[in-house]
Chain A
Amino acid sequence: MKEFLEHGLNQNRRKFLSKLSLGIGGLALGSLMVPGMFDGSNEDELFSNVLPHFAPKAKRVIYLFQNGAPSQLDLFDYKPMLQKMHGEELPASIRNGQRLTGMTANQAKFPLAGTKFNFAQHGNTGAWFTEALPHLASMSDEMCFVRSIYTEAINHDPALTFFQTGAQVGNRPSMGSWISYGLGSENKNLPAFCVLLSKGKGNGQGVYSKLWNNGFLDSIHQGVQFSSGEEPVKYLTDPSFINRVDKRVMLDEISALNDAAYKNIGDPEIVTKIQQYELAYRMQMAVPELTSLQNEPESIIKMYGPECLIPGTYAANCLLARKLSENGVRFVQLYHQGWDTHGNLPKEIEGQCRDIDQSSAALIKDLKQRGLLDETLVIWGGEFGRTNYCQGALSKDNYGRDHHPRCFTIWMAGGGVKPGVFGETDEFGYNITQMPVHVHDFHATVMHLMGIDHEKFTFKHQGRRYRLTDVAGNVVHDIIS
């Protein structure tokens, strides 16, 4: 009897094969109910149909990145305590042994440095502003301050990369690329993600094209950099002997060849290439129309300030950003260099403020008067903050500040954020006491405003699903209107 039973339990080839075939039959039966399971459509395509996940509050973003890390203590986060204790040593209980950069870690003393600027509260929200930003102060009622944002990176490049791509190491897609991938371009004649650079006179830090790289996403989602010269987009104009018709014929032929190659090889980058040629062809018409200042009324020029007539300045970029955004570009990224005020801060920061004050305020005003501020999110901020103690020699009205990732201030306007002042730092401006907002939380919130659930928005690459917020991030509902 036992042998007989064991025989029944044993596996032989016949049993194996018949059970295998049954299993496959079961799988096949199930697959009948899954539409498109075997027709090779990949899951990425599903995204374009399911985004936005919910009603977006903002359709477009203009990110005014202040490269080099502006000092929150001299601009928005007013700390009278520091002025009172100017020159006194930073209490050890406040620093609490936290990490410093190599630039000041070996300083014998950490004398507190109170801001040299006068502060005043503006608008109904009572937000504090330095006297160096009079124009922005007049827009106070549109602005949403987050004074309690923090990051983990302590040096420029990793911090910048963190803010732009959600990771401190390179090679991940930029925020704008994610948005481009998720939501696409509204205007098919312009790229969904544009990048504009400018430089102040302050101590500068580099910006690299990796910051607007598409990472593992299709290269069509890479940020398109506009330059300041005669040609805002390089290599866009045709040589004089080619006309539009010839160009069209040429492109049709090339795309037929590319198409054949794609059918043969199947490399998706070929399709991207075809799309890029087509986009460039349409941009040839759209970009000159857009970048010309000839059709702007005088008041706009005056509003952004005379600098906006000089290509490549922050003011000119702000104006261009408004025009790009108005024309359906999802994500316009500006970088303004020169905020790395390790020394000689009062003078440098005054110059930087002069660069950005009028034009940043004008951008908000301009969007508002066109009825576009409700659907456009403007973000202003750097990659980290600056220390409350002085780097180098401290005198009565000169000081410098080192990198401080533990708290700093950014502000946003429009696009579904609530005007007001949120989050709080201690009276020394060193640690956060209320509503800490991490870089991942910031990303999650921006995505949320764009109608995207950051946890569901992924891209599979080399066997792992990536998100802009990696495995973290909480939407900061308090600042959403």
Chain B
Amino acid sequence: MSEKKIYQILEMSLWVLNPLLLVLAVYNQVIQPGLFLQWIGKLHPLVLHFPIVFGILIAMYLLFFNNRRVPIAIEKLVLVTNAVIASGVVICGLLLSKQNSYDGDLINLHKWGGILIALLSWLSIYLLEIKVELKKYFAIFFGIVLIFSTHKGAQLTHGVNALSFPEKAEASVAGNGETVAEETVYKSIVAPIFTQKCIGCHGVDKMKGDLRLDTPEYIIKGGKDGLIIKGEKNNIAMLIEVIHFPMANEMHMPPDGKIQLTAREISILNNWIKGGANFTIKGSELNKDDSLKLFVSKVESVSTPKFEFKSNLPDLKEFNSNYCTTNYLFNGSDEIEVNFFQGTFYNSENLKKLEKIKDGIINLNMSGMPLKKEDLDIIVQFKNLQILNLNNTQLEISALEVLKTLPKLKSVSICGIEFEDSSLEKFLDNAKFKELNIWTVKGTEKSFEKIMVKYPSVKITVGDNMQDQVMKISNPSIEQDSLIIPTHVDIKLKHLLKGVVIKYTTDGTDPDSLKSMDYKEPFRLFDNTVLKIKAYRTGWQSSDIVSRTYYKSEIHPDSILLLTQPDPKHKGNGAKTLIDYDLGETNKYTDKWLGYQNSTLDFLIGFNELKTLHSVYLNAFIEFGAEIFPIAAITAQGSNDGKLFKKIAETTFPMPKKDDPSLIAKIFTCKFPEGTTYKYYKFSVSNVKKMPAWRKDRKGKPAWIFIDELFLN
């Protein structure tokens, strides 16, 4: 085979390899190499040294050998060989990276650096003919990338300090839990703070202020300003002083711009020095109430659970339904939590199904499920169960005895389950769980005090049943919104709480617990009525009185016509607004109100035959702030032919005072003389023409009237 042929094949193969390696790099998170490819990956350390050596030689050649060049065909052959091997190494590396878990930053730098090397090597083939100077820049850049990223690779396999100068052994940062308690407090939690945040400037390399914090001896010795862990002036140790200075102070340590101590670290140093800066005391020897104990045990608890990422866990889909959800505690965990919802749909089949994953379940919430004794027999099979919620499950406490066989059970909640003290004690005898939450109708924290003392190993939380609290009950409500009685109206009363008695009167007197009627079922009102209701419940104060006035409106006119037009912004639904049996609300901008300011409200009603009227009521809204005043006067006229009207009655109302109620709807009545019978009636409703002096700046201006309904009787 000629050189040319070899070159061609190699060059072509680059066009395959490089796209391939890009795909592998971009989708590195999701690719799943098979066994053979995993083996290919293992070739990475074997071949990686070729492109490093080649690469360095190429960079040097491009830099220094421009005057004495070898034949171009050889140059090209070397370059292309290097590029192919470089790409191959990167592909192997990408496959290898799937097999081990490496430190995130390092692996990323190494990965993308390596890819850059492969691509630059490829590019170098086509750069032979470019300008000498550019070639030199390229060579320098290539060399730097090469050294930098391959060094990252070295750090991956040989550790971060692969090439740094050998040092004395560093203080080990707290390791796993068992050793922490047996390690000195200094070594486990104090020294790591110095190592991480201080010895950069106060260590063997730099000794600012002649102070070293890397060994106990130097720490005790202090620096050029004196001792640091024993107080000289004011008896405050200098170390404590400097970490507490405000940031702006020059003496503040660590200095502005360096990584600062966390609150946790500050309190560790505080407590350690307060306790005499003991270098030899061990975690296990600390007093129980020593604050340092807390920090030591925290190191333990943080480091003890060694988590192992699990894959190939069973899919939980089949155990999920609308009323039961199961899921892994988090991605990669094999611990399962289970929640049941909506007791009305509970079915023990769902629980039984969980037997298939019984070893995974650590948290089970059955709150509110109507459980039976048999259900507990299923639950006790969940050997790894830690947290169990049985609130409001209607179980007997004696049935819970079986739960004590669960070896890992930590916390049980049985709120709403009633029991005698003796049965609770029985349940607590030899109990291994650590927490119990209870709530009963009778029990209070006080009544369980004895039991709490007797069983100190269990933390019992007793829900408050608020027995001694007497409270006022909220008001009952009336279901109907309408206040109008066309012929009759059915009244329905209700209260949100169970066991409430609602008393009511319809004669205007205040309801009381003895004489007034109990509300049992809806009742019917026929005539103008003042309804008053009040709620009672044993153990509670009675509610306020809710009062409502109903208006009879039995006569409905056959036609109605507005003679004066309302303000265009408040024109409602025209004339029929007044007789639609629909009262407006406090929002006056709805189309349930007619508003007048510049004229009186004049309207005409007509009947198909003669009609006797006794009275009319008009419902009006009052809001002084918006200049809506009560009606000033109502004038009524009658006619039989619709042309000639005769005055029937006129009622005037007094000017309101400043303190009269505002923001309410009020009924205005005009009574007719006995025997008033006409076919047509005409009404004129006038507004206050000049507002009184107390309405300050609007004094003397006309007020609004807002009317929403007309009742005829």
Taking a contact as CB atoms under 8 Å apart, the answer to whether A37 and B466 are in contact is no
Verify A35–B32 contact, CB threshold 8 A. yes
B322 in contact (CB, < 8 A): yes
Is B463 an interface residue when CB atoms closer than 8 A count as contact? yes
In-complex Cβ contact of B435 among A31, A371, A434 (8 A): A371
Q: Which residues B407-426 have CB closer than 8 A to chain A?
A: 411-413, 415-416
Interface residues of B in 32-52 (CB under 8 A from A): 32-33, 37
Q: Which residue of A lies closest to B34 (CB)?
A: A33
Bound state CA distance, A327 and B391, in angstroms?
A: 12
Chain A residues within 8 Å of B330, by CB: 51-56, 451
Given A26-B16, A297-B441, the answer on whether A369 and B462 have CB atoms closer than 8 Å is yes
Q: Is B15 an interface residue (CB 8 A)?
A: yes
Q: Is B461 an interface residue (CB 8 A)?
A: yes
Partner of B18, one of A9, A26, A303: A26
Taking CB atoms, residues of chain A closer than 8 Å to B32 are 33, 35
| A187→B472 contact, CB < 8 A | no
| A369 in contact with B461 (CB, 8 Å) | yes
What sequence of 0s and 1s flags, for each residue 356-395 of chain B, a beta carbon within 8 Å of any chain A beta carbon? 0000000000010000000000000000000101010000
A301–B464 Cα distance when bound, in Å, is 12
In the complex, chain A residues 255-310 whose Cβ is within 8 Å of any chain B Cβ: 282, 285-286, 289, 293-294, 297-299, 301-303, 305-307, 309-310
Q: Is residue B17 within 8 Å, beta carbon to beta carbon, of the partner chain?
A: yes
Is A25 part of the binding interface, using a Cβ–Cβ cutoff of 8 Å?
yes
A314-B497 Cα distance, complex, nearest whole Å: 18
Q: Do residues A19 and B15 form an inter-chain contact, with CB atoms below 8 A?
A: yes
- Residue of B17, B263, B345, B497 touching A26 (CB-CB under 8 A): B17
| Contact between B333 and A55, CB atoms less than 8 A apart | yes
Question: Is B469 part of the binding interface, using a Cβ–Cβ cutoff of 8 Å?
Answer: yes
Q: Report if A189 contacts B (CB, 8 A).
A: yes
Whether the Cβ atoms of A18 and B12 lie closer than 8 Å is yes
- Is residue B506 within 8 Å, beta carbon to beta carbon, of the partner chain? no
Please tell me if the beta carbons of B16 and A23 are within 8 angstroms of each other in the complex: yes
Q: Is B439 an interface residue (CB 8 A)?
A: yes
In the complex, whether A24 has a CB less than 8 A from a CB of chain B is yes
Chain A residues bordering chain B, tally (CB within 8 A): 66
Q: Is the C-beta of A121 less than 8 angstroms from some C-beta in chain B?
A: no
Judge whether A282 and B497 touch: CB under 8 Å.
no
A109 interfacial by beta-carbon distance below 8 Å: no
> When chains A and B are docked, how far (Å) is the Cα of A311 from the Cα of B464?
23
User: Is B264 part of the binding interface, using a Cβ–Cβ cutoff of 8 Å?
Assistant: yes
Give the docked Cα–Cα distance between A303 and B467 (Å). 10
Given contacts A33-B32, A35-B30, A478-B263, contact A303 B23 (CB under 8 A): no
Query: What mask results when residues 160 to 199 of chain A are scored 1 for a CB within 8 Å of chain B, else 0?
Result: 0000000000000000000000000011110000000000
**A217 in the interface (beta carbon within 8 A):** no
Tell me how far the C-beta of A273 lies from the nearest C-beta in chain B, rounded to whole angstroms.
19
- Cβ–Cβ contact A309 & B474, under 8 A: yes
- A370 lies within 8 A of B463 (CB): yes
Interface-located stretch among B231-239, B336-344, B643-651: B336-344
Interface centre among B30, B32, B341, B539 (most CB of A within 10 A): B341
What separation, in Å, do the CA atoms of A435 and B467 have in the docked complex? Answer: 43
Known: A368-B461, A435-B263. Is A327-B341 also a contact (CB below 8 A)?
yes
Q: What is the bound-complex CA distance between A298 and B416, given in angstroms?
A: 12
Contact with A along B245-282 (1 / 0, CB 8 A): 01000000000000000111000000000000000000
Q: Which residues of B contact A5 (CB under 8 A)?
A: 72
**Would you give the shortest CB distance from B703 to chain A, in whole angstroms?**
28
Within 8 A of B (CB), among A412-450: 422, 433-435
Asked whether A40 is an interface residue with its Cβ less than 8 Å from the other chain, the reply is no
Mask of A4-24 contacts with B, CB within 8 angstroms, 1/0: 010001000000001100111
The chain B residue with its CB closest to the CB of A29 is B20
Q: A33-B33, A56-B329 are in contact. Are A370 and B437 (CB under 8 A)?
A: yes
Measured in the bound complex, the distance between the Cα atoms of B441 and A155 in whole Å is: 48
CB of B549, distance to nearest CB on chain A (Å): 23
Closest to A423 in B: B263
B24's contact among A30, A54, A56, A186, by CB below 8 Å, is which? A30
Complexed CA–CA distance, A206 and B52 (Å): 66
In the complex, per-residue mask of A303-330: 1 if CB is within 8 Å of any chain B CB, else 0: 1011101110000000000000011100
- Say whether B19 contacts A24, CB under 8 Å: yes
Given contacts A26-B20, A369-B415, contact A299 B262 (CB under 8 A): no
Contact partners of A37 in chain B: CB under 8 A: 27
Q: Would you call A96 an interface residue if the criterion is a C-beta within 8 Å of the partner chain's C-beta atoms? A: no
Q: Is B626 an interface residue (CB 8 A)?
A: no
Q: Are A282 and B27 in contact (CB under 8 A)?
A: no
Identify B473's interface contact among A26, A36, A309, CB under 8 A: A309
**A30-B24, A327-B341 are contacts. A187–B16 as well, Cβ < 8 Å?**
no
Q: Is the CB of B339 within 8 A of A187?
A: yes
Contact in complex: B264, A478 (CB < 8 Å): yes
Closest chain-B Cβ to A174's Cβ sits at a distance in Å of 23
Q: Bound state CA distance, A240 and B95, in angstroms? A: 65
Q: Which of B387, B413, B465 has the most CB of A within 10 A?
A: B465
Contact (Cβ within 8 A) A371 B437 = yes
B323 interface contact, C-beta 8 A: yes
B129 at the interface (CB under 8 A from A): yes
Q: How far is the CB of A46 from chain B (nearest CB, A)?
A: 8
Distance (Å) between the CB of A345 and the closest chain B CB? 24
Q: Which residue of B lies closest to A33 (CB)?
A: B31
Q: Which A residues lie within 8 Å of B391 (CB)?
A: 370-371
A365 within 8 A of B: yes
The yes or no answer to B496 lying at the interface (CB within 8 A) is yes
A317 CB, nearest partner CB in chain B, Å: 14
Q: Which of A55, A298, A328 contacts B539 (CB 8 A)?
A: A298
Residue of A nearest to B343 (CB): A289
**With A and B bound together, what is the CA distance between A1 and B469 in angstroms?**
107
A371 cross-chain contacts in B, Cβ below 8 A: 387, 389, 391, 411-413, 415, 435, 437, 461
- Whether A301 and B497, one on each chain, are in contact in the complex, defined by CB atoms closer than 8 angstroms, is yes
What's the least CB distance linking A22 to chain B, in Å?
A: 4
Does A187 lie within 8 Å of B464, measured CB to CB? no
CB pair A299 B465 closer than 8 Å: yes
Is A92 positioned at the interface, with any CB of B under 8 Å from its CB? no
Quick one: CB contact mask for A50-67 with B, threshold 8 Å, 1 for yes?
A: 111111100000000000
Residue ID in chain B nearest A294 by CB atoms: B498
Check A189 against B437 for contact (C-beta < 8 Å). Answer: no
Known contacts A302-B466, A328-B341, A51 near B263 by CB under 8 Å: no
| Interface flag for B112 (CB, 8 Å) | no
A365:B341 contact, CB within 8 angstroms: no
- Which of B37, B412, B466, B474 is in CB contact (< 8 Å) with A299? B466
Asked if A303 meets B341 with Cβ closer than 8 Å, knowing A30-B24, A31-B23, the reply is no
With contact pairs A25-B16, A306-B473, A368-B461 given, residues A434 and B331 touching in the complex (Cβ less than 8 Å): no
CB of B108 closer than 8 Å to a CB of A: no
Q: Is A396 an interface residue (CB 8 A)?
A: no
- CB of B342 within 8 A of CB of A30, answer no
Q: Closest CB of chain A to B672's CB: distance in Å?
A: 40
Minimum Cβ distance to chain B for residue A219 (Å): 21
- Of the candidates A9, A27, A306, A327, the one whose C-beta lies within 8 Å of that of B20 is A27
Q: Does B126 contact A (CB under 8 A)?
A: yes
Q: Cβ of B31 and Cβ of A285 under 8 Å apart?
A: no
The answer to whether B473 and A52 have CB atoms under 8 Å apart is: no
* Inter-subunit contact A478/B262 (CB<8 Å): yes
B residues within 8 A CB of A369?
A: 415, 437, 439, 461-464
A-B contact pairs, 29 of them (CB 8 A): A9-B126, A19-B12, A19-B15, A22-B15, A26-B17, A26-B18, A26-B20, A27-B23, A34-B30, A35-B32, A51-B330, A51-B331, A52-B330, A188-B325, A189-B341, A282-B322, A285-B344, A294-B496, A297-B441, A299-B441, A302-B469, A306-B474, A309-B496, A328-B325, A328-B341, A369-B462, A370-B415, A370-B437, A371-B411
Given contacts A327-B342, A369-B461, 9 further A-B contacts (CB under 8 A): A19-B12, A26-B16, A33-B31, A188-B325, A293-B497, A294-B497, A299-B466, A328-B325, A328-B341
List 7 A-B pairs, minimum CB-CB distance, nearest first. A30-B23, A369-B463, A309-B474, A371-B413, A26-B19, A26-B16, A26-B20
